[in-house]
DNA sequence: CTGTTAGCGCTTTCAG
DNA sequence: CTGAAAGCGCTAACAG
């Protein structure tokens, strides 16, 4: 690893001049520039980013905290965040908090403000907001992305989408198709991360003067397996339903498999709709009808907000809500049988 | 962000002493230690990792290069690599090379040896080995993980598994079940990354004195969609097959859906087996029988090798092959109809 | 247009 | 047991 001094010596200049040509600062004579560039090539020089970060008081990395990369939503979000970060010439440091016994506190403490200029939090519902506020107090910007409730500000800068609207759109699609007996499978506690999606389901039903029947509603873990298991139980004990609103794609795919296992045809016997539109939703049988949330936009806006916060601290923590929601009709929904 | 100087001032000592108590170096009096610790707490001090990296000539991060996090194998590998890195108190920097127009060269040049002490490469078959060798020449260790062919050393330290054996085990399982007409769907070019798995398929057939029929073999992209499309074509134009060897899980799941679409029952009409055992393999309908490769072990061994290489440079690049392979029987395979 | 000087925050000899 | 001094590799004033 050549250092800037060596390059400078090689080119017969000082480190300052090398920096100047490499960073495009100051004015440098053409001949000198050529000599420097030649020396850089000859020595295969690459600046030490740690040293640069130290003096510039600014690091080239951003930290991303998420629950677990193994939940298929996160890789998609992470990829977009990575792309956004790269487009700003930043690198992404990741932390799967589910496996840190302290929920990522140590990661945050070590990384925030030294290795990383800021931290992006992919919301998974059980956020320890105080933890992030204490990071902010140290002057390190934090933004929460995929915040589900525009009506309730977490007190930390965030990028949100309207999850209630998403839940409502999904349910409304079922109603438009003519369904009147629509159960729900919510992949969080009632007051948990999918509370908004759940509220959207109830709103749609109420506006259509359809009853909200607790007997037809279940809460489960946000996994394929628990979606499968819970749907199996719900579908065996409640026979009258023609459609199911599921609050997330992964458990919805479990629902599809449970229905098949029971000999129920989707959508002929039961329609299934959900929210998110992960890649897998197009790889299920049948393809899953779902309300797509703006994953890409939330990732890009989050990175942008984070970077902006490294430049200026606003008096109030901003919230940006991305309105874009889109019903993606595939083949898991259809009209109820007459 | 408090600095070590401020902490020292607060405690009435010098930075040296602060370092000593924080890093456990030297001998420090109990009273002094307590004062320092109190000062650390009072100022909410966290060491600047960039500064530390600079003086220690050693960075707390490792870089992971992979094709694209969106291919479901990578998140699983990445999670394990992350866990392994964390267990050594390192952080992971990731790069999705598929989206870097230069295949990650710039990432490598900027990161390797300054931000990151080493780079871990998750093999996806189209590796530019020269690129990595030039990084090694700069004294930065590189290890390739998930190398598929133990018989052929890439010339760079690597962790390998025996993909030929995996392909053979999968095919052998079909043969053991009584299948004699076994087609193949290889998710790479014939000489591409799945060449070993493909060779294993042929080996098993030949050892069982079964013919290898080119008509029943197809090559496709390593995606769900192309698996679906290619299987559809193969299955419509070749009627005699009772089983299919697919070289990877994701296209195999596409195969399952194609079969269902065509009205073929799996495994009654056609058995499907593949290699890898990604999480999705247990979330398909039917569950996919597949040969599990040692993802976790490869991730941990790779991190360990990388770290070892930062300590000592061996004369020859090591290769460690993880022998562990395991047939995971689910429900996509069964005996052929009599 | 280029060089000199100082310093980012930390750790490590080496003295005391 | 604690402090003083030097330096990691780089960049930003400021001179010249």
Q: Are strands B158-161 and B319-322 parallel, antiparallel or unpaired?
A: parallel
Task: Tell whether the model's pLDDT for residue B243 goes beyond 90.
Answer: yes
Rounded mean pLDDT of B278-305? 97
- The C-alpha atoms of residue B116 and residue B118 are separated, in whole angstroms, by 5
| CATH number 1.20.120.1770 is the correct assignment for the domain at A4-47 | no
B121, B142 contact by CB (below 8 A): yes
For chain B, the domains span 4-47, 57-161+295-324, 163-292
DSSP β-ladder status, A91-96 and B91-96: antiparallel
Burial class from Cβ neighbours inside 10 Å (0-12, 13-18, 19+) for residue B250 reads buried
B168-182: per-residue pLDDT in tens?
999 999 999 999 999
| In the predicted structure, residue B338 carries a pLDDT above the cut 80 | no
Interface test with A, best of B23, B56, B114, B133 (most A CBs within 10 A): B114
Q: What is the pLDDT of residues A137-148, one digit of tens each?
A: 989 999 999 999
Q: How does pLDDT run across B314-324, given as a tens digit for each residue?
A: 999 999 999 99
At B335 the pLDDT is: 97
Q: If pLDDT is split at 50, 70 and 90, which confidence band does B124 have?
A: confident
DSSP one-letter code for B179: -
CATH H-level, domain B163-292: superfamily? Response regulator (3.40.50.2300)
CATH number of the domain at A57-161+295-324, please? 3.40.50.2300
Which structure tokens are listed for A228? 């499968």
pLDDT over threshold 80, residue B309: yes
Taking the C1' atom of every nucleotide in all shown strands and the CA of A35, the nearest one is C2
pTM, two decimal places: 0.95
Pair A74, B79: CB distance under 8 Å: no
User: Are A4-47 and A57-161+295-324 equal in CATH topology?
Assistant: no
A17 touches strand C (CB under 7 A): yes
pLDDT digits (tens, 9 = 90+) for B5-35: 999 999 999 999 999 999 988 778 888 999 9
Min Cα distance A201 → chain B (Å) is 26
Test mutation, A114, A277, A287, A295, chain B, max B CBs within 10 A: A114
DSSP-derived secondary structure letter, B269:
T
Residue B100: pLDDT above 90?
A: no
Nearest to B333 by CA among B182, B136, B110, B194: B182
Does at least one atom of strand C sit less than 7 Å from the CB of A211? no
- Residues A272/A252, Cβ–Cβ less than 8 Å: yes
Q: What's the pLDDT at B80?
A: 97
Greater confidence (B107 vs B202) lies with B202
Q: In chain B, which residues have their Cβ closer than 8 Å to the Cβ of A91?
A: 93, 95, 107, 111, 115
Residue of A nearest to B139 (CA): A1
Residue B127 has pLDDT above 90, yes or no: no
Q: What is the per-residue pLDDT for B60?
A: 95
CB distance B49–A92 less than 8 Å? no
Q: Could you say which residues of chain A have pLDDT below 50? A: none
């Amino acid at each position: 690893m050549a250092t800037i001094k060596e390059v400078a010596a090689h080119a017969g200049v000082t480190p300052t001049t090398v920096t100047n040509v490499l960073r495009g600062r100051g004015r440098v004579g053409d001949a000198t520039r050529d000599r420097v560039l030649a020396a850089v090539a000859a020595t295969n020089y690459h600046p030490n980013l740690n040293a640069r970060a130290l003096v510039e008081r600014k690091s080239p990395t951003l930290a991303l905290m998420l629950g677990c990369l193994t939940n298929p939503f996160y890789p998609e979000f992470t990829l977009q965040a990575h792309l956004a970060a790269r487009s700003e010439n930043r690198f992404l440091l990741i932390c799967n908090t589910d496996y840190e016994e302290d929920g990522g506190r140590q990661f945050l403490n070590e990384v925030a403000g030294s290795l990383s200029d800021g931290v992006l939090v992919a919301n998974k519902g059980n956020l320890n907001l105080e933890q992030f506020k204490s990071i902010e107090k140290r002057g390190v910007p934090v933004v929460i992305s995929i915040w589900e409730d525009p009506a309730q500000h977490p007190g930390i800068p965030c990028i949100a989408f309207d999850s209630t609207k998403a839940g409502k759109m999904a349910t409304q699609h079922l109603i438009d198709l003519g369904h009147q007996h629509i159960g729900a499978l919510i992949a969080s506690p009632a007051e948990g991360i999918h509370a908004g999606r759940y509220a959207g389901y109830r709103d749609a039903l109420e506006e259509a003067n359809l009853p909200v029947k607790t007997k037809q509603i279940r809460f489960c873990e946000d996994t394929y397996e628990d979606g499968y298991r819970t749907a199996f139980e719900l579908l065996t004990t409640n026979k009258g339903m023609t459609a199911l609103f599921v609050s997330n794609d992964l458990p919805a795919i479990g629902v599809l498999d449970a229905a098949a296992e029971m000999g129920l045809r989707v959508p002929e016997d039961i329609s299934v709709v959900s929210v998110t539109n992960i890649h897998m939703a197009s790889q299920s049988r049948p393809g899953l009808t779902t309300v797509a949330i703006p994953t890409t936009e939330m990732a890009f806006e989050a990175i942008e907000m984070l970077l902006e916060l490294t430049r200026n601290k606003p008096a109030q923590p901003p919230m940006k809500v991305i309105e874009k929601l889109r019903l993606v009709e595939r083949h898991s929904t259809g009209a109820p049988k007459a």
